[in-house]
């Protein structure tokens, strides 16, 4: 019945196969879907049990076996997107030849509606302050009981529509914080340039608050904020107020899909936009550039900054 429903939605049922070399076993999954990427693949391996879940529209295709032989902990996953093929390469612990992949476990080789799989979804988010500097308080807010997030809801997304449905009193699990930004990157800093796109603005909130409050050497802080439309600009009026209040801070908005009324800057990140933006307070000023946004934005930004001879130490990118 599930296969019938899927067929109506233009999907045919996935299948899998496996092959081996002396040192590895490769499980090949043919999803027959073109829009599969690495985010659609969840692999879980504990002791002998191996489970892979492939997210296809509202369904999950499951590979779930008790492996016939032991494997190493690390494995690799490759997706050939244009044909929807997934290869999971497992490393054998011993060089023996396997006669079978293993015993099938629950739901093995089946396609089931996603709501029945009980899968845990994990997505990263960046804590922000409750506002920009004007009301900035150190994060000792009420015994650290509060943590603020700015999260965009994607109606077709996997996780954010679920988050949007939460009611007061519901629970979500939150992990320990992770990240590589160090406060020492601010030491003796004179010019701070922030390049943010969409929700890539979130890491800039605490950076802005911290730098403007705690770095005496700071002369200039500039934010270039890229969005599709004016409505997408997060905290626009707070940013404008801050620029008015603190002469060290400037903000520029750049729209990629403006209406005809927009008379500000528009386009994607480009050499022309950057050359105008990255004016430092003096030739040898100590500078830090932070960049965050959709992956192609961040990658393009880093390339353009490197072309302008900024060193790796002068660029901090926020990535997954």
CA angle, residues 154, 158, 164, in degrees to nearest 5:
55
Q: Is 71 in the site for ligand FAD (CB under 6 A)?
A: no
Written as six digits, the tokens of 38 are 């690495």
Backbone phi, psi, residue 152, to 5°? -85, 135
With CB cut-offs between 5 and 8 Å by kind, which of ligand NAD, ligand FAD, none does residue 264 bind?
A: none
Q: Measure the CA–CA gap between 87 and 278, rounded to whole angstroms.
A: 44
Instruction: List CB contacts of 311: < 8 A, sequence separation 6 or more.
Output: none
Residue reference for tokens 């899968």: 119
With CB cut-offs between 5 and 8 Å by kind, which of ligand NAD, ligand FAD, none does residue 256 bind?
A: ligand NAD
| Residue range at the interface with ligand FAD (CB under 6 A); choices 147-155, 253-261, 276-284, 307-315 | 147-155
Pick from 195, 269, 278, 288: which binds ligand NAD (CB under 6 A)?
Answer: 269
With CB cut-offs between 5 and 8 Å by kind, which of ligand FAD, ligand NAD, none does residue 14 bind?
A: none
With CB cut-offs between 5 and 8 Å by kind, which of ligand NAD, ligand FAD, none does residue 225 bind?
A: none
Between 231 and 283, CB nearer to ligand NAD:
231
Q: Which among 97, 101, 90 is positioned nearest to 66, based on CA atoms?
A: 101
Pick from 256, 266, 280, 314: which binds ligand NAD (CB under 6 A)?
Answer: 256
Between 98 and 125, CB nearer to ligand FAD:
125
With CB cut-offs between 5 and 8 Å by kind, which of ligand FAD, ligand NAD, none does residue 181 bind?
A: none
Q: Measure the CA–CA gap between 302 and 185, rounded to whole angstroms.
A: 17
Q: Measure the CA–CA gap between 230 and 250, rounded to whole angstroms.
A: 18
Q: Which among 104, 109, 119 is positioned nearest to 42, based on CA atoms?
A: 119
Residue reference for tokens 């950057």: 274
* Contact between residue 143 and residue 97 where contact means Cβ atoms under 8 Å apart: no
Q: Is 294 in the site for ligand NAD (CB under 6 A)?
A: yes
DSSP 122-135: -----EE-SSSGGG
Residue window 19-38: x/- pattern of binding to ligand FAD, with contact defined by CB under 6 A: ----------------x-x-
**Residues engaged in binding ligand NAD (CB under 6 A):** 126, 152, 197-200, 202-203, 226-228, 232, 256, 268-269, 292-294, 296-297, 300, 318-320
**Residues engaged in binding ligand FAD (CB under 6 A):** 35, 37, 123-126, 149-152, 154, 156-160, 199, 202, 320
């Amino acid at each position: 019945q599930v296969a019938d429903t899927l067929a109506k939605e233009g999907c045919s049922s996935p299948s899998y196969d496996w092959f081996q070399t002396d040192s590895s076993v490769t499980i090949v999954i043919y999803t027959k879907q073109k829009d599969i990427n690495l985010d659609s693949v969840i692999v879980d391996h504990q002791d002998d049990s191996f489970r892979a879940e492939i997210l296809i529209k509202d369904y999950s295709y499951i590979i779930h076996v008790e492996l016939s032989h032991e494997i190493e902990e690390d494995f690799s996953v490759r997706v050939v997107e244009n044909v929807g093929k997934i290869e999971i390469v497992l490393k054998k612990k011993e060089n023996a030849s396997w006669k079978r992949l293993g015993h099938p476990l629950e739901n093995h080789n089946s396609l089931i509606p996603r709501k029945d799989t009980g899968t845990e979804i994990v997505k990263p988010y960046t804590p922000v302050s409750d506002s920009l500097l004007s009301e900035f308080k150190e994060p000792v807010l009420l015994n650290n009981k509060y943590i603020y997030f700015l999260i965009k809801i994607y109606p077709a997304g996997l996780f954010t529509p679920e988050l949007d449905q939460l009611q007061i009193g519901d629970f979500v699990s939150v992990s320990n914080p992770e990240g590589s930004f160090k406060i020492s990157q601010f030491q003796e800093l004179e010019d701070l340039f922030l390049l943010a796109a969409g929700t890539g603005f979130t890491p800039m909130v605490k950076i802005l608050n911290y730098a403007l409050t705690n770095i005496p050497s700071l002369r200039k802080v500039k934010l270039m904020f890229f969005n599709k439309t004016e409505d997408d600009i997060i905290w626009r009026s707070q940013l404008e107020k801050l620029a008015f209040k603190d002469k060290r801070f400037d903000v520029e908005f750049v729209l990629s899909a403006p209406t005809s009324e927009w008379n500000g800057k528009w386009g994607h990140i480009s050499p022309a936009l950057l050359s105008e933006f990255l004016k430092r307070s003096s030739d040898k000023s100590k500078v830090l550039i932070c960049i965050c946004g959709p992956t192609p934005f961040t990658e393009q930004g880093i390339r353009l900054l490197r072309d302008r001879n900024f060193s790796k130490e002068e660029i901090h990118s926020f990535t997954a």
